[in-house]
């Protein structure tokens, strides 16, 4: 009886660890997407500032 109970507990723990792992993967993916978007915004801002600076220098 104790062995069966222990196996049930282990299976439950295993399934919960799987859920935690899936959530970490999802979070990691979202962080990667955020970083890509953030870097894109920085690049766009840099291009804008370069153009503005170029215009002011020529004036």
pLDDT tens digits, residue range 2-52?
Answer: 878 989 999 999 999 999 999 999 999 999 999 999 999 999 999 999 988
Which two three-digit tokens encode residue 44? 């766009």
What whole-number distance in Å separates Cα of residue 55 and Cα of residue 39? 24
Per-residue pLDDT, 59: 59
Closest CA to 14 of 22, 3, 1: 22
What whole-number distance in Å separates Cα of residue 49 and Cα of residue 56? 10
What whole-number distance in Å separates Cα of residue 19 and Cα of residue 36? 26
More confident residue, 57 or 41: 41
pTM above 0.85, yes or no: no
């Amino acid at each position: 009886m104790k062995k069966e109970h222990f196996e049930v507990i282990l299976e439950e723990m295993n399934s919960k660890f799987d859920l935690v792992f899936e959530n970490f993967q999802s979070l990691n993916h979202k962080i990667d997407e955020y970083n890509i978007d953030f870097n894109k915004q920085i690049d766009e801002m840099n291009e804008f500032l370069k153009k503005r600076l170029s215009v002011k220098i020529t004036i």
